[in-house]
Copies of this chain bind each other. A is one copy, B any other.
Amino acid sequence: MGSKNKNGEIEENSCRNPDGTLRLRNRNIEHLQEDILYHLALGTESHDLVKMFGDVKFVCMGGTANRMKHLAQYLKTEMNFELPTGTSLCDLTENSHRFSMYKVGPILCVNHGMGVPSIGILLHEITKLMYHAKAKNPIFFRIGTCGGIGLKEGTVIVSKSAVDEMGNAYHTQKICGKVVQRPAKLDHQLVKDLISLKKSDDKFNVVEGITMCADDFYEGQGRTDGAFCDHTEEDKFNYLKELQNRGVTNIEMEAVAFAAFTHYAGIKAALINVALVNRLNGDQVTTPKEVLLEWQNHPQIIVGRYIKQILCKN
């Protein structure tokens, strides 16, 4: 990051300034009179983004608005952040009607909806937000839910890599009629750091794994309980076994885009998912909602410990 070429100039492709603020891989943004982050209902003219978000060090993303609000409240308690009397956390992107975002000290918690296109919109706008805000070296987390392959329900999987439905370790996009592939790479040191935070008395396991990203919950994950099913139980098991043989531990719907985007943007990032079902045992999520909600706390606990450790060092 911030590497210099032989003339001593910062290279075009570099994604970070020497002070840790982001450089975008898009010079057009510098020349915009106003940048409206449409799906966040924030903008460079309408808001003082530096004042509002300049201190952000961590961006935590997850599927539902509800879970992100819960995460913000959990982190507030864990970090002993006190709010002024008469105030409570509010949704910073309420006017967008698209995403919900909460801020607790230097931590943003924002939901990304379901699937690659939805998280893609958020990643573009959150990255531009961090750029406009002059936030320094922000770390992105996706804290999600997934189906595990051969793992006990409630297990937390920290992804060392991400693959698509065909096993490719890159994200494929179509841009102006051309097919573009970007490698889906994650930070290996961050994976190790997160896994090391498991405590011996935790009631759940934390493992590293390879995460498959599907574009569909039903047919795209081999499920046989969608509105359509042209494949057999045998096709499903062969597919899941093939994935398992390649080291795939879990399936969700955002990993490959999240990994490719953050890698291309030069942003340190991690994917931490909890398995709600063992796909080798079935397709349906039959566990009671209160147990599911309890399991959804597991990745939050690990990420909370990581953030606390970093903040205590500074």
Contact = CB atoms under 8 A, between A and B. Distances in A.
A175 B231 contact: yes
Contacts of A67: 97
Interface residues of A, number: 72
A93 to B, nearest CB: 12
Given A25-B227, A26-B229, A227-B24, A220 B114 contact: no
B227 A127 contact: yes
A226 interface: yes
Given A222-B176, A225-B35, A231-B175, A117 B264 contact: no
Nearest to A243: B177
Interface stretch (A83-91, A101-109, A188-196, A211-219): A211-219
Given A227-B123, A227-B131, A175 B219 contact: yes
Interface string A26-47: 1111001011101101000000
B118 A229 contact: no
A216 to B, nearest CB: 5
A253 interface: yes
Contacts of A231: 175-176
A224 interface: yes
Contacts of A41: 289
How many copies, total? 2
A218 B124 contact: yes
A6 interface: no
A95 B292 CA distance: 12
Contacts of A164: 174
A235 interface: yes
A77 interface: no
A209 interface: no
A128 interface: yes
Contact of A26 (B123, B226, B286): B226
A228 B165 contact: no
Complex A-B, nearest 4 residue pairs according to Cβ-Cβ distance, in ascending order: A115-B117, A26-B229, A165-B174, A127-B227
